[in-house]
């Protein structure tokens, strides 16, 4: 059974930096394309970033391009999301997801999901 566990969320001041991690177990991490999504209260789940299994391809939503960076360490079976210049509008629950297919911005293309980690940006 494939399990994804996010960590690294918390309270951060506007303009601050936070790095989320997602550790995958029970599957072959290096074979999965991975993605990050978030969901703010009262809003739909939003795509943030995706990365191919090799790290060769990354793709970002316009809303986070230039501020967020996705990366992965296949040796550690861990996915990362470094978030810079955080704003109150970034407050949400952040989810990582794994796909047996290609990297994608469509949440429906992902097969496995973590439980989420909450990020709150506030002074």
Residue pLDDT, tens place only, 51-93? 999 999 999 999 999 999 999 999 999 999 999 999 999 999 9
> Beta strand 46-51 with 3-7: parallel, antiparallel or unpaired?
unpaired
> Tokens 């550790």 correspond to what residue?
23
Q: State percent of the chain over pLDDT 70.
A: 100
Cα separation, 104 vs 56, in Å, equals 14
Beta carbons within 8 Å of 84's beta carbon, 6+ residues apart: 17, 67, 68, 69
In Å, how far are 4, 12, 93, 110, 113 from 107, measured between CA atoms? 15, 26, 15, 6, 10
Mean pLDDT of 100-120: 94
């Amino acid at each position: 059974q494939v399990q994804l566990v996010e960590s690294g969320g918390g309270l951060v001041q506007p303009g601050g930096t936070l790095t989320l991690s997602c550790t995958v177990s029970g599957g072959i991490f290096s074979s999965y394309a991975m993605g990050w999504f978030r969901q703010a209260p009262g809003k739909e789940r939003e795509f943030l970033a995706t990365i191919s299994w090799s790290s060769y391809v990354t793709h970002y939503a316009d809303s986070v391009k230039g501020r967020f960076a996705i990366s992965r360490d296949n040796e550690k079976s861990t996915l990362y999301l470094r978030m810079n210049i955080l704003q109150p509008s970034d407050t949400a629950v952040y989810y990582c997801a794994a796909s047996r297919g290609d990297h994608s911005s469509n949440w429906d293309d992902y097969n496995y999901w973590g439980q989420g980690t909450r990020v709150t940006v506030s002074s």
